[in-house]
Amino acid sequence: MHCVLVVPGTLDAKTGGTIYDRKIVEGLIGRGWTVDVRAVGDLPSLPPRTVVLVDGLAYAATPGVVERESSRLHVVALVHLPLALEPGLSVSEAARLRALEQRVLASVSRVVVTGRVTVDWLREYGISRDRIALVEPGTDRAPSARGSGSNAVRLLCVAAVTAGKGHEMLLRALANARGGRWTLTCAGSLTRQPETVERVREVIRDRQLVDRVTLAGELAEGQLDCAYDSADAFVLATGRETYGMAVAEAIARGLPVVSTRTGAIADIVGDAGVIVDAGDEAALTRALVHVIGDAPARRRLAEAARARRGTLPTWAAAAEAMEQVLSGFAR
């Protein structure tokens, strides 16, 4: 079996979408496939009837190429988040991206989404349910976090510092809970949206959190493992997710979670954390006060997280599900 994966750059980036793409490639190769990673501009040179999995950020750059080549290739679109739903877009830009994506998705053979909520979003685009396949992310097995061992609760947030991930609201909520003993490490890119990073730094300065909050930037895999291992709880105030990969990674390490009700986060966390509505700063503050200030409750949540680890989907299962989609076209 052979397929081509089209991505907007390389598979080295530490974004959730790129990690998903890389894990799927590794899983398919492990199942005996050969996978070539190409740029969208390479599509015209591919032999007819080649099976091509195109990441949404790739077809966003040159949608015309995908539309033209879909008539002779077996193109499967991979939608992590519909382009028009990216936080921070103007109304006109969101409308432009929606129209672009509708055209591309109408031209391809099949559409793969990474979260159940995306199925409903794409139904609004006129994509029938029988053309949509759900392939949720997997989770790597990991040892239980040992925690900080300190009197201050060490919180960890893993997300690029962008408008949609809720860092500003998280910091304001923590400032309102500052009577508790806590520190926060934010692990994630500081270069994707410099304007958002500057606003986050302003909140840190204005709320006098400089000695409590570390913006660590992107961490290498070993460093991120250490950050999870030394954390006492995981926090994420994201406004919109299709799944919630970082939250699943936290549960895989037995960490209690405070996060928002979006994507699959509530299902992933279950009774292992406190989930609030996205954008509800007051509820987020109360949840943080509870998890930071109540050590017995935090231990109970951690026990529930450790119990849920075995229920998390694996990357092997994700690769098998993707194989089922692609093998319908492959020879």
**Ramachandran quadrant class, 166 (left: phi over 0; alpha: psi -120 to 50; beta: rest):** left
User: What pLDDT, on the 0 to 100 scale, is given for residue 329?
Assistant: 80
CA 139 to chain centroid, in Å, comes to 12
Mean pLDDT by 10 residues, the chain (331 residues): 89 84 95 92 92 91 89 94 88 93 93 93 90 94 93 96 96 87 96 96 96 95 95 97 95 98 96 97 96 95 95 95 89 53
Give me 51's structure tokens.
Answer: 């099976």
Residue 284: per-residue pLDDT: 97
What is the set of domains in the chain, with CATH numbers?
2-138+313-326 (3.40.50.2000), 153-311 (3.40.50.2000)
7-14, Cβ contacts within 8 angstroms, sequence gap of 24 or more: 7/37, 7/39, 7/55, 7/57, 7/58, 8/40, 8/55, 8/57, 8/58, 8/60, 8/61, 10/37, 11/37, 14/188, 14/189, 14/218
pTM: 0.91
Beta partners for residue 79, in sequence order = 113
pLDDT at residue 156, as a whole number: 98
- pLDDT, position 89: 87
Instruction: Give residue 281's pLDDT.
Output: 97
Instruction: Select from 268, 211, 290, 274 the least CA-distant residue to 237.
Output: 274
Q: What is the pLDDT of residue 71?
A: 92
